[in-house]
Structure 1
Amino acid sequence: MAKGMVLGLVLVLGGCTAQEARYVAAPSVAPPAGPVTAAVTSPAPGATGVSTAPEIRTAVTGAATGTVTLTGPGGPVEGAPYPDGASWVPAAQLDFGATYTATVTATRSDGQKTTATSSFRTMGRSGNTAGSGLYLADGETVGVGMPVVVELARDVADGNREAVQRRVSVRSDPPQVGGWHWFSAHELHYRPQVPWRAGTRIDVRAGIGGLDMGGWYGEADRSASVTVGPDQRFVVDNGTKQMTVSRDGEVLRTIPVSLGKPSTPSSSGNLVVMEKAESMVFDSSTFGVPVNSADGYRTTVYWDLRLTWGGEFVHAAPWSVGDQGERNVSHGCVNMSTENATWLFRLAHRGDMVTVAGTEVKVGAGDGWTDWELGFDQYQQVGPSPKPGLPDAVQEARQR
């Protein structure tokens, strides 16, 4: 596999996680000839300084199945086989500076068994770690367009990206096909081929605590379980200056809006709600326009739904009610009345799909969660697409 290459189609598995790796040999009529052998090949016997995010690899011959167990200072360690069957992965980060014993038991179809064990010691705590973020809140209800977003505090070199990707587990119930995309050297996304089915449970684990990412290590694992809510779509048509809000295919409301004026147009594209805030301070100085200038402002804006990192929101704009449905007067945001914005805010989930059509500009790649701007074949790319680093977290919005 080429450096930076992402995996192909991924079937997101449902159900419970197994605790044993099983390797299935080709079927045969008679018991296989020759003795059963088994060995733990990685980590090597007696290895020290092993990552706290290891993959246990084994070799068995003459066997129909092989099972792997791992024990440590606290007793048995839960884990599961990697989907490709090539290794066994612990369900949580291992302890630093601890000794573990891996055991593989090979069983031939006629019942003959053999067992092999191997011990290794994990690395001590490293001072060269970096944090990470998982843009999912445990127990959250999300929209059908919600991507799984893993953000790392440092860039990952090409040769280490596949290892990172292998350590991010996405399971859904019911199962759905999905794939991966590196939007930058520090931001890995996963999305289904088509929007999630309403009611889907998604379990995500980024098992990157202690993972070597090229001379630096992940600080800790990240995990969350979320549920997909109803299929809600918000479609903004610049031609009519209206937003159509639908739920499970039924139109709930049509809302007059005002978009970005010609000098600061709104971005067209297939977007998702990234963030909800009952109020935010919008400050023009965050994008270089002094507050005391003719086009400057610093004001509190209510019922905000973020669409882009650059600062495009859907929000209440009582000052432009007379323009809504008629003309564009905003700095790039989607303006609506306070009544409509309050109603939409209470309805919306992060991950709800928002389509903006007919404006003068297209949304920039990676300016927000632009996963649905790409066809699925393009989404499953080789290497990352260019994208600047995320803006300072204190930057609230560049538009109004």
Structure 2
Amino acid sequence: MTDQPTAEPAYDVCLALNYYAPYVSGLTEVARVLAEGLAARGRSVAVVTSRHDRALPRRERVAGVEIFRAPVRAQLGRGVVAPGFPKLVARVARRSRVLNLHLPMLEAGWIAARCRDVPTVSTYHIDVWVPRTLTTPLQVAAVNRSARHALARSTAVVVNSDDQARHSLQWPTIRTRPWQAISAPCLHREGGRPAYRASGGLHVGFLGRIVEDKGIPYLVRAFRRHAAPEDRLLIGGDHADVRGRSAVAEVREAIGDDTRITLLGLLRGRQLADFYASIDVFALPSVAESFGIVQAEAMMAGVPCVTSDLPGGRYPVVATGFGRLAPPRDPDAIWRAVEELRDLPAAQRAVHAKEARDRFGVDACLDAYQELFDRAAAGALLRPAD
């Protein structure tokens, strides 16, 4: 149930991004948790996004956050064509103390130029990655150019980790601005029941959008080559409402007739806690990854992680030591890492879980963003050394 919109106030912060809840992705979850968390702390928060689903209202108030949605004319790959979106962002941003842009975003450069009088903090999530087609090089080049212009005009830049920033294509621009690493806000999914366990064997889990960049078929091949008859692989995540192209057909082809592997679909709320409580090892076999909120939440729930050795995506494992890294696209290496973690003692899991909660919890993220927004609004930022 949503609250009714109120009269037009001035906002402490305006967040702008192409997709917002109820659409689910790592980027949208960062923005949602940030917006709702700041609103719960008494800040006035607006979100400007696209009306990617026509069933959604043009404007509503949810969890204390004022949401403005620009009509969509068409979809282009993972992006949307919403001609009124930049103007809507500019209109709301001019009534806000700070604009928070979430990149990559095709319109970011234009918005940053139009809002040059508003302190702008750009959150740069990841270098854009899309499955290659004849037109994607042009799309990627346009998005990268727009991000570069927006970052260059930003009052400050946020990245998920130092590792992500320094390996980014945008690092030459990021390093010229005041920048700060703030880990994505991750929820402690506690109190779950092992509702998805189906045997006494090893249970490995994946959670995320069912898209090509998550590398799920490599995990499936690893499991099918090496897992014992009593072992199980649980794959949770949305494959119906996926912008761009769902990879569920490729995943199902890789699964074949193996009844030990289950596609759970989109999980929400208590189902997520039950999922983490049902697995022994979490696997994130991505071929492109910025942070991986799901792996950090698994760690917070006491589950060690196998993740691809990619800049940014490897950070939660490297920072906590609660997992193993594997080369991308290498099923045998993925399973060797799984085997190394399957019998990790409960006491060691508990120690690492607490460290993960302290490092990646929501409060630490909100504290850092709130301080940064206040400093940006006050013009109190200094350019740091590399």
User: What's the TM-score, normalizing by structure 2?
Assistant: 0.26
Bigger helix fraction: 2
Bigger strand fraction: 1
Please tell me whether Structure 1 or Structure 2 has the larger radius of gyration of its CA atoms.
1
User: What's the TM-score, normalizing by structure 1?
Assistant: 0.25
